[in-house]
Amino acid sequence: MTQPSPSITDMIIETRGLDLWYGPVQALKQVTIPIRPHQVTALIGPSGCGKSTLLRCFNRMNDLVPNCRVEGEILYHGTNVNDPSYDVVELRKRVGMVFQKPNPFPKSIFENIAYGPRVHGEKHKGKLDEIVERSLRDAALWDEVKDRLGESALGLSGGQQQRLCIARSLAVEPDVILMDEPC
């Protein structure tokens, strides 16, 4: 028995005819991809084929790249996030990203995790403590750092820094986490 085709409302992210240029160089050409919620979607391809570029489109990280131009649609829950009025801060809360190279903030382990919830309005120390512990547990890092939360995150090993960045993303409870070769 065949399943009915999913509708646009079934997709958490979808691109339609997505093109991207870095200056005169076209990095993405007519990319159309539907991504369903509650599933792992992997982008597989050779180095330099545009996987990271596409991931950065989903939460508009390419906005920060000089001479980058995007055309086409990037839909999140059916709404085009390329609309200039779209709240990019809220988008990046809902669609988090963990980069290939760990990028902990030059702050304590605790502050790395508490930063996002604070930016989004959480002020209560008890609640922040809960969020930090839960996020570090979910990223399998709590047992290694629970007695060192006040220490600099920059002192962690590379693998620990990567899990810290995953925990930092989890702390704001995103709908989607984009992971660019996080292992």
Alpha carbon separation from 159 to 20, 132, 167 (Å, rounded): 32, 18, 12
Alpha carbon separation from 50 to 37, 54, 119, 165 (Å, rounded): 22, 6, 31, 23
Q: Are 101 and 142 in contact (CB under 8 A)?
A: no
Residue 156 has pLDDT above 90, yes or no: yes
**Mean per-residue pLDDT of the chain:** 93
CA–CA separation, 59 and 95 (whole Å): 6
Residue 3 has pLDDT above 90, yes or no: no
Residue 161 exposed, middle or buried by CB count within 10 Å (0-12, 13-18, 19+): buried
Question: 10 Å Cβ neighbour count for 129?
Answer: 13
Return the domain boundaries, the chain. Answer: 13-86, 109-180
pLDDT at 10: 85
- For 59-106, the pLDDT digits (tens) are 999 999 999 999 999 999 999 999 999 999 899 989 999 998 999 999
Query: Of all residues in the chain, what percent carry a pLDDT higher than 70?
Result: 94
Angle between helices 109-119 and 125-138 (to 10 degrees): 120
pLDDT at 183: 63
